[in-house]
Chains A and B, each alone.
Chain A
Amino acid sequence: MTDTSVILDFAVRRGSFRLDIHEQLQSSAVAIVGPSGAGKTTVLDAIAGLRRPARGKIVVHGRTLFDSDSGIDIPPAGRRVGYVPQDVVLFPHMNVDRNILYGTGRGEPPLFERVLELLEIGSLAGRPIDGLSGGERQRVALARALMSGPDLLLLDEPLAAVDVALRGRILPFIERVRGELGTPVIYVSHAADEIRRIADHVVVLESGRVLRVESVSAPTPA
């Protein structure tokens, strides 16, 4: 049986800001919510290996990514984590194809055609990044993360920068990624409706501390 445990037990210091999180969740879809500055992106950065915790342990689905006691600190390139940051960060000097295929040297990636079909971006092949709409950029970033064959997908407010209508169109793609590819997700968001559709557990974060963990009883099926 697939191990769906996520252990987030670490502390990060960044200037005067301090993030302390001690949670063990049994979930393949966790949402992290909280106001700006709560430390949501810091959590994702620590899981992705982009920010080193001062101490603690990060275990995702049975794989230890960081453990200060054992001296384990897998570099970002080895964590097999697909990260879609809030600001998308498509490589500006590469076209859509080169962006999507950037991470395919690793592991066994899902089929290119399947990802293009799933996200309905086949028509964007060969296009420069400059001409893409907000929604297209989000889907290309998602495709790029998926093509790297991640064990876990980190989505940082992927719909924050798009309008309500576009949000309604992109959300089903994220649901399909979770439903059809079965990739576990940690999802940062402000929006309750997104969380209900994507996540089965919600971690409420404020000022670097976990206020509570809620279970989403009936996530909408994909």
Chain B
Amino acid sequence: MNAELVRVTLFSVTMASLATLVMLPPGVALGWLLARRRFPGRTVVETVVSLPLVLPPVATGLILLRLLGRRGPIGRILDQAGVDVIFTWKAVVVAMAVMGLPLLVRAARAGFEQVDHRFEQIAATLGASPIRVFFSITLPLANRGVMAGSMLGFSRALGEFGATIMIAGALPGTRTLSTAIYSYSQTGRDTAATLLLAVAATIAFVSVFVSNRLGSGHLEQPPSPSDD
């Protein structure tokens, strides 16, 4: 594999890892919120979070372009702060994070739903604040779901194409595995495209395999206590 293919692979893995880190805080927060809280507009939040799963990725990319472009509501503020996003590596991270978020939220939510509320209640009677209960009880007990979701989100990020091509293009500095496979196959570099395909398939297989292993671990958690 030549230097270009190695560079594209490393860049993609780095960007997907960064995107996973970016999506973790909102993903965990949304997963917890949807699993634990009933509030007006909950279904709307649930739907909006899931939208990138069903919208054409190119459409999601267009929405991001409108938001983050220099004339967009977020892009204008970023531009004034001297931060350029569109057609940079940051746009790759944003596209990957947005596309991977729904999978993380779903798995994290399932993880939180499996944590028996009784553990949290007893922790509270022992004097723990809600924040301490969350970080010492809820999150550790839901961690398999969160980890599985992170791996799924990472896999989705790594395979992202439509939104990425819209807001980051396939420039030498923003080329990911997906966009490189597309570019190479369009320009007749079939061997390079096939090699990258093998790399992408291997990484995706490992990520999803680990995610499934973590997800099935839910069933091995200790039996939940019950109320009278």
Give residues in A with beta carbon < 8 Å to B: 36-37, 40-42, 48-50, 75-83, 85-89, 91-93, 102-103, 105-107, 129-130, 144-145, 148, 156
Contact = CB atoms under 8 A, between A and B. Distances in A.
Contact of A145 (B119, B126, B130, B222): B126
Given A41-B228, A50-B124, 6 more contacts: A76-B124, A76-B125, A77-B128, A85-B118, A89-B122, A105-B128
A40 B137 CA distance: 26
Given A83-B125, A102-B128, A103-B128, A92 B222 contact: yes
Interface string B93-124: 00000000000000000000000001101111
Chain A CB within 10 Å, residue with most, of B130, B141, B228: B228
A141 to B, nearest CB: 9
Given A92-B141, A92-B222, A102-B128, A156 B123 contact: no
B221 A92 contact: yes
Given A41-B227, A91-B137, A105 B127 contact: yes
B187 interface: no
A4 B94 CA distance: 61
Interface string B179-222: 00000000000000000000000000000000000000000011
A49 B125 CA distance: 8
A102 B123 CA distance: 8
Nearest to A78: B127
B48 to A, nearest CB: 32
A144 B228 contact: no
Contacts of B141: 92-93
Contacts of B127: 77-78, 80, 103, 105-107, 148
Q: Which of B121, B136, B141 has the most CB of A within 10 A?
A: B121
Contacts, number: 72
A81 B125 contact: yes
7 contacts: A79-B125, A82-B126, A87-B226, A89-B122, A92-B141, A102-B126, A103-B128
Given A85-B225, A92-B221, A92-B222, A50 B121 contact: yes
Nearest to B225: A87
A81 B222 CA distance: 26
Q: Which 6 pairs, one residue from A and one from B, show the smallest C-beta to C-beta distance?
A: A103-B126, A41-B228, A106-B127, A87-B225, A76-B124, A92-B222
Contacts of A102: 123, 126, 128, 136
B228 A156 contact: yes
Contacts of B128: 77, 102-103, 105
Interface in B141-178: 141
Contacts of A105: 127-128
A88 B122 CA distance: 10
A103 B123 CA distance: 8
Contact of A91 (B119, B125, B130, B228): B119
A48 B125 contact: yes
Given A89-B118, A89-B119, A92-B222, A40 B228 contact: yes
B139 to A, nearest CB: 10
Given A85-B118, A92-B141, A148 B228 contact: no
A125 to B, nearest CB: 19
Contacts of A148: 125-127
B56 interface: no
A40 to B, nearest CB: 6
Contacts of B136: 102
B143 to A, nearest CB: 8
Contacts of A88: 225
B26 interface: no
A87 B121 CA distance: 13
B73 interface: no
A92 B228 CA distance: 20
A205 to B, nearest CB: 11
B2 interface: no
B215 to A, nearest CB: 18
